[in-house]
Amino acid sequence: MPQRTPTRIQTASSEQYVRLLRRKGNQKFRTVDLVSVFREALRKANQFIPSEAGYIVLDDPETKTYDPRSRTVDLSQTQLVVAACFGRGARDMAGRHFHAAAGVSGQSYLAGRTLLRSNAPAPFLDPSLDAEVGHSPRAVLSTPLAIKGAPIGAIQLVDREESTSYSQHDRELLEILADYIAINVQTALDAKTLEELSKRDYLTHLYNDWYFTLELQQLVRRDQPFSLIFLDLDNFKEVNDTYGHLIGAETLIEIGRIVGEAVPPGGLAARFGGDEFEIVLPGHDLAQALVVAERIRHAIAEELHREIDGRNILENLTCSVGVTDFDPGRDRHDYKDLMQRVDQSMYEAKREGKNRVVALPGGNGGTAGVMEPAPMVSGARALPGAARARRSGT
């Protein structure tokens, strides 16, 4: 038997894979490397069912809509994306989008069953993409990919070599490969979900202190400038003691939402202990961090509302916020110095009356020293002396 030429597999970009695999319950993860799984699946498909072309297509989750009346997912407007492919025109097809109902692969995906089309079959992808490839297929074999019964895409072969069609045996082999792909996708998503859960606070779903500390250490090692925010709730114990831990937990969840929404892209927020939160802002200077800190302080002081017996029980709930910054050319490369400094600035906010933001810039190894005042933020007074910049709350 002559040696077959190795199958050259083309794949979509890594950014497209992240988008395509951001399934329900897996929105938080950043990378899942399934390229090797798809490559291997297509190589095996071409080894056991030699064909002129092959495709793995995945649905775009953002084009699937949920119908609340029927409590089902509407797939009628779903777009499919070529995740991996080989054969004629493969280089130009990888990453391309097309409507699910336009060709055999989409019809297989929508029907949830294997389809075989022979003798002038329907388009194998979509009429316009087929025209770009310049291929008029004799036979198309496509089987859906599904995770726990939910369709996610399809694997398709076009024109079996040395035959005018595909056999029942070919069909069974392709269905086995489809199961292999689905199992690997599910395993990767489950592993990524568990990995992500290990980094998260169980209550607020912000990051936990363990993961936050690791990221902070990495930033220091990378010599990257950043700012650090630390906030501690004022009068939270009173809420817990008076109204119970359930109300307290619901309040922490709401504060976690406020903190998370205030963090700009690239930042990272965590819950530290019971009612403490910390935020790191890579590339942000002290003035920028003060803006974020004040936004959080104001939202907690003014927006929290929980009415019991005609009064807002959270009206006295505020926060004291400390802010500091890290300059790799100025400060000691020790994350513990940063933690101590931001902790010190938070306690200074407590001493000065709570419900305010106090900044303690770095320098001199984190010790007090004469420095230029921190930049003004929306009319806030910035003080030198013990390297403090203060913003009082209203």
Domains within the chain, CATH numbers bracketed? 10-192 (3.30.450.40), 207-392 (3.30.70.270)
In terms of Cβ atoms closer than 10 Å to its own Cβ (0-12, 13-18, 19+), residue 205 is middle
Per-residue confidence (pLDDT) for residue 328, from 0 to 100: 85
User: Alpha helix locations (H) across the chain?
Assistant: 14-20, 35-48, 90-93, 104-111, 127-133, 168-199, 209-221, 236-243, 245-262, 286-303, 335-351
pLDDT digits (tens, 9 = 90+) for 357-390: 999 987 644 433 222 223 333 323 333 333 334 3
**343: three-class secondary structure by DSSP:** helix
Per-residue confidence (pLDDT) for residue 28, from 0 to 100: 42
pLDDT digits (tens, 9 = 90+) for 80-138: 999 999 987 777 888 898 988 888 998 999 899 999 988 766 688 888 888 888 777 88
CA–CA distances in Å: residue 168 to residues 105, 141, 171: 18, 11, 5
Pairwise CA distance, residues 363 & 85, whole Å: 55
**Mean of per-residue pLDDT scores for the chain:** 81
CB 179 within 8 A of CB 39: no
**Portion of the chain with pLDDT greater than 90, in percent:** 40
CB atoms under 10 Å from CB of 56, counted, come to: 29
Quick one: tokens of 106?
């989409």
Helices (H) and strands (E) in the chain, counts: 11, 18
CA–CA distances in Å: residue 369 to residues 290, 373, 385: 20, 11, 7
Pairwise CA distance, residues 57 & 12, whole Å: 10
pLDDT digits (tens, 9 = 90+) for 149-195: 888 899 999 999 988 889 999 999 999 999 988 888 888 777 766 66
Going by C-beta distance under 8 Å and a sequence separation of 6 or more, which residues neighbour residue 185? Answer: 21, 34, 37, 145, 147, 152
Per-residue confidence (pLDDT) for residue 309, from 0 to 100: 85
Pairwise CA distance, residues 55 & 75, whole Å: 20
Per-residue confidence (pLDDT) for residue 147, from 0 to 100: 85
Band the pLDDT of 12: cuts 50, 70, 90: confident
pTM for the full predicted model: 0.54
Quick one: tokens of 372?
């230029």
CB atoms under 10 Å from CB of 96, counted, come to: 18
